[in-house]
Structure 1
Amino acid sequence: MDRPILPEAAADAAITDAAGNQHRRAEGEVRIVSLVPSLTELLCELGLAERLVGRTGFCIHPRETLKPIRKIGGTKDVKRDVVRDLAPTHLIVNIDENRRETVEEFAAFIPNIIVTHPCRPEDNFELFRLFGHVFGCEEAASRLAAELEASLAAAATVARALPPERVLYLIWRAPWMSVSRDTYISAMLRAVGWETLPADAASRYPEIDWSARWIGEVARVFLSSEPYAFRERHLDEVAALSGRPAALIDGEMASWYGSRATAGLRYLAELRVRLAGASATVGS
């Protein structure tokens, strides 16, 4: 497969983020604070760890690299004074993960706020291009794009080889909650041929009624490792409630975008094949 080339902008050109804000190539000393765990990981993959001065307590990958980086609270409960003291030139945020009021407050003293909102695994190409241009690391961004292209192709091969399957992806317990089809998680699962239910949801993260008619259409239930830490002990409970086989799934692999999307697609493709084989064995 030919290596995909990310469209490059001239060094003095502006590039647009998910909020429509335009960003030019960073100049001088660059000091980055990231409020998004998956994008903190991406910054490190792009070789920008030395420019990272602040991160949330949920930014844990790569662990050893991030140990010396200052923690500034959580994704939603950010310590304003700590961030101000770090004097960042750039703040990395996400529409789903961070509060608008927090971002607006930081805009008063942080000159460059980069807003992200990937909704599909393919949206990571634009994310790589954005970071690559702003922080002058286009070569590393192009490498990540090539790896993502290969993983997308492998996922599509699996999706074509196996019959589509409707699944329920649980993210919370008490109340039971899932994901709607317009979420990044649902798009990642769709890439390997898993279609999430419910098909129509009033919110992006709907509560689940186990007596709903559509539960009968579910072939398999996934229990995510995050944000609720589902464990083996929950499998029998969910299987009894749904009447369907239940399996644990790595939530980071399904929900983290950025550089993790490549590994996530490979993980989901392998899981799809493995579970399909197990189902065939049970049914034979």
Structure 2
Amino acid sequence: MQVSTIPPESAVLEDAVGVVHRPAEGPVRIVSLVPSLTELVCELGLADQLVGRTGFCIHPRDIVRKVAKVGGTKDVRMEAVRALDATHLIVNIDENRRETVDQLAAFIPNVIVTHPCASEDNFGLYRLFGRIFDRDAAAGRLAADLAAALDAARAAAVSLPPERVLYLIWREPWMSVSRDTYISATLRAVGWETVPPGDASSRYPEIDWQAPALAQAQRVLLSSEPYRFRASHLDEVARLSGRPTALIDGEMTSWYGSRAAAGLRYLVRLRERLAAA
């Protein structure tokens, strides 16, 4: 059994861009511009310290509905954030614009930049947040749960036949994900290998249904986000691709943080169900 753990407490608290952080002192006021990390903040017991979030931060619903909205992940309302007098800002390299973060950094003293690229990266994320915000015990519980989920995912990847999939995130234009995304890595953990859909320089490339690479796909997965694919799209995609199609919960593949373990378990169940069918 391969078990992963949070790095030791002696490790440096360094974020995705190399900034070293210290444990927070005094009152903490957090603004999160990343939906999945807003959920993580709440899961760590920091809901009372969360003062701002985006309109896309929708989980956990009963908590975030009471938290001030500051715009979207990319169109942030600067003055709305300034009014919250935040001590910490949580952002992500993929989801937030650098120029926006730079402007916010002018008046928020602590900016935590994240960039998880695979399920295993959540261990470092848990530790970073746990140590900064004095939530080590809660972070440890999340890490133990993720370690168990990763073991189950690896077992499923071994027991089920490997399968190449095309993962769709948008329609008109049709778009997919490159192999260096968190989504692709999460699928790979359970034995689903994403096919190269086109332009290797783009993380979220448009696809050409006639491209030779797509012939490698054995199945097409239609995500629920950011485009909300529905059952009505399954026949259309089956005609275009000539492959079996299935809907997939995009939050379970792309939301890192506290949802990572649940996402892996969901993917194992989905793989088993589709394989049996």
TM-score range for the pair, normalised by the shorter chain length: over 0.9
Query: Equivalents in 1 of 2:250, 2:3: separation in Å?
Result: 29
Query: Equivalents in 2 of 1:4, 1:118: separation in Å?
Result: 15
Aligned equivalent of 1:78: 76
Partner SS for 1:259:
helix
Amino acid in structure 2 at the alignment position of 1:205: Y
Structure 1 position 20 matched with structure 2 position 18? yes
The 5-angstrom pairing of residues 109-120 of structure 1 reads 109-120=107-118
Structure 1 position 7 matched with structure 2 position 15? no
Residue 119 of structure 1, CA deviation: 0.2
Give every structure 1 segment of 4 or more consecutive aligned residues whose post-TM-superposition deviation is greater than 4 Å. Answer: 1-5
Residue 65 of structure 1, CA deviation: 1.1
CA deviation profile, 1:170-202 (whole Å, cap 9, x unmatched): 000110000000000000000000000117723
Please list every run of 5 or more consecutive structure 2 residues that lacks an aligned counterpart in the other structure: none
Query: Equivalents in 2 of 1:264, 1:159: separation in Å?
Result: 15
Query: Equivalents in 2 of 1:192, 1:199: separation in Å?
Result: 20
Residue 7 of structure 1, CA deviation: 3.4
What is the TM-score when the length of structure 2 is the normalising length?
Answer: 0.97
Asked whether the equivalents of residues 14 and 25 of structure 1 are also in contact (C-alpha less than 8 Å), the reply is no
Partner SS for 2:129:
helix
Asked whether the equivalents of residues 14 and 24 of structure 1 are also in contact (C-alpha less than 8 Å), the reply is no
Query: Equivalents in 2 of 1:247, 1:264: separation in Å?
Result: 17
Query: Equivalents in 2 of 1:236, 1:96: separation in Å?
Result: 32
Aligned equivalent of 2:211: 212
Check 1:199–1:57 CA distance in 2 against 1; reply closer, same or farther (3 A cut): closer
CA deviation profile, 1:108-159 (whole Å, cap 9, x unmatched): 1000000000000000000001000100100000000000000000000000
Aligned equivalent of 1:88: 86
Aligned equivalent of 1:221: 220
CA deviation profile, 1:193-236 (whole Å, cap 9, x unmatched): 00001177231111100011122211000110000011111111
Amino acid in structure 2 at the alignment position of 1:223: L
The 5-angstrom pairing of residues 139-218 of structure 1 reads 139-198=137-196, 201-218=200-217
Partner SS for 2:86:
coil
CA deviation profile, 1:75-121 (whole Å, cap 9, x unmatched): 00011000000000000000000000000001110000000000000
The 5-angstrom pairing of residues 252-263 of structure 1 reads 252-263=251-262
Aligned equivalent of 2:36: 38
Check 1:7–1:61 CA distance in 2 against 1; reply closer, same or farther (3 A cut): same
- State the identity as a percent: 70
The 5-angstrom pairing of residues 48-59 of structure 1 reads 48-59=46-57
Residue 5 of structure 1, CA deviation: 5.0
Query: Equivalents in 2 of 1:117, 1:146: separation in Å?
Result: 21
Partner SS for 1:64:
helix
Asked whether the equivalents of residues 159 and 191 of structure 1 are also in contact (C-alpha less than 8 Å), the reply is yes
Aligned equivalent of 1:62: 60
Check 1:63–1:36 CA distance in 2 against 1; reply closer, same or farther (3 A cut): same
What is the TM-score when the length of structure 1 is the normalising length?
Answer: 0.94
Please list every run of 5 or more consecutive structure 1 residues that lacks an aligned counterpart in the other structure: 279-284
Structure 1 position 230 matched with structure 2 position 229? yes
Aligned equivalent of 2:244: 245
Query: Equivalents in 2 of 1:242, 1:4: separation in Å?
Result: 38
Query: Equivalents in 2 of 1:35, 1:127: separation in Å?
Result: 16
